[in-house]
């Protein structure tokens, strides 16, 4: 039986990736005169904003001041998402269904806490809707390392083998499998073939259409 569901955030609960890419593109243009594209960021999806921003910048030969540049990216992001950020279809209902079934829930995101709080606020969820939240500032090794999921399981008091991770990124699927957890992959950010190759156990277009039978697996 699944005793806990661990949710990644961006691309799983909220459709935020176009907005954070938009904000980072604007920051790089503003501070470095770089004309980046969304494709520059794709290899770094799911790895946290530090890698997301610095990795894309490096493709243009730029070394960023990550703390200052991330802070500015977040400022732009918070402006652009206001009234526009939407949940991934079925996400809020799925979280609440897990809770109603007595299944523990956690967010395990590589993003900073301020982004976590802003995203939840925009879609009408709160940290209180989860038993545990773990953000990228709480762990040193980011996905595809398993640390963030192992830390979430530890805080929940649930063995990894009893956890189901919901992910959308290749790096996140690899992290879940390295942690010894089953993984439901949402095929929105990456093709199903890439998620399958990374080791995902289950697939769905979004959480509205996810097979509830996996909660009993």
The pTM of the full predicted model, rounded to 2 decimals, is: 0.90
pLDDT of residue 217: 65
pLDDT in tens, the chain (217 residues): 899 999 999 999 999 989 999 999 999 999 999 999 999 998 988 788 999 999 999 999 999 999 999 999 999 999 999 999 999 999 999 999 999 999 999 999 999 999 999 999 999 999 999 999 999 999 999 999 999 999 999 999 999 999 999 999 999 999 999 999 999 999 888 899 999 999 999 999 999 999 999 998 6
For the stretch 72-110, pLDDT in tens is 999 999 999 999 999 999 999 999 999 999 999 999 999
Q: Would you identify the CATH topology of the domain 4-15+85-216?
A: Rossmann fold (3.40.50)
pLDDT of residue 155: 98
pLDDT of residue 187: 86
Q: Active-site residue among 8, 131, 135, 168? A: 8
Task: Give the dihedral sign, CA 21/27/30/32.
Answer: negative
pLDDT of residue 45: 86
**Catalytic (active site) residue 8:** yes
**Catalytic (active site) residue 10:** yes
Q: Active-site residue among 10, 135, 147, 206? A: 10
Instruction: Give the residue among 53, 46, 44, 54 at the shortest CA–CA distance from 7.
Output: 46
Domain spans in the chain, listed from the N-terminal domain onward: 4-15+85-216, 17-81
Alpha-helical (H) ranges within the chain are 17-32, 49-58, 66-81, 91-100, 113-123, 147-156, 170-178, 192-198
pLDDT of residue 93: 97
Task: Give the dihedral sign, CA 64/66/68/73.
Answer: positive
């Amino acid at each position: 039986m699944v005793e806990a569901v661990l949710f990644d955030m961006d691309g799983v609960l909220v459709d935020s990736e176009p907005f954070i890419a938009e904000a980072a593109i604007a920051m790089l243009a503003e501070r470095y005169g770089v004309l980046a594209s969304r494709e520059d960021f794709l290899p770094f999806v799911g790895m946290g904003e530090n890698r997301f921003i610095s990795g894309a910048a490096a493709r243009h030969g730029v070394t960023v001041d990550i703390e200052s540049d991330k802070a500015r990216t977040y400022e732009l992001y918070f402006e652009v998402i206001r009234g526009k950020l939407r949940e991934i279809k079925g996400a809020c209902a799925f979280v609440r269904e897990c809770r109603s079934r007595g299944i523990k829930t956690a967010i395990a995101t590589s993003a900073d806490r301020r982004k976590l709080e802003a995203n939840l606020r925009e879609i009408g969820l709160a940290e209180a809707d989860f038993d545990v939240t773990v953000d990228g500032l709480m762990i040193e090794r980011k996905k595809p390392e398993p640390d963030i999921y192992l830390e979430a399981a530890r805080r929940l008091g649930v063995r990894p083998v009893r956890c189901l991770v919901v992910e959308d990124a290749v790096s996140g699927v690899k992290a879940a499998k390295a942690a010894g957890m089953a993984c439901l992959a949402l095929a929105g950010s990456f093709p199903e073939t890439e998620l399958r190759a990374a080791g995902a156990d289950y697939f769905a277009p979004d959480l509205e259409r996810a097979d509830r039978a996996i909660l009993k697996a």
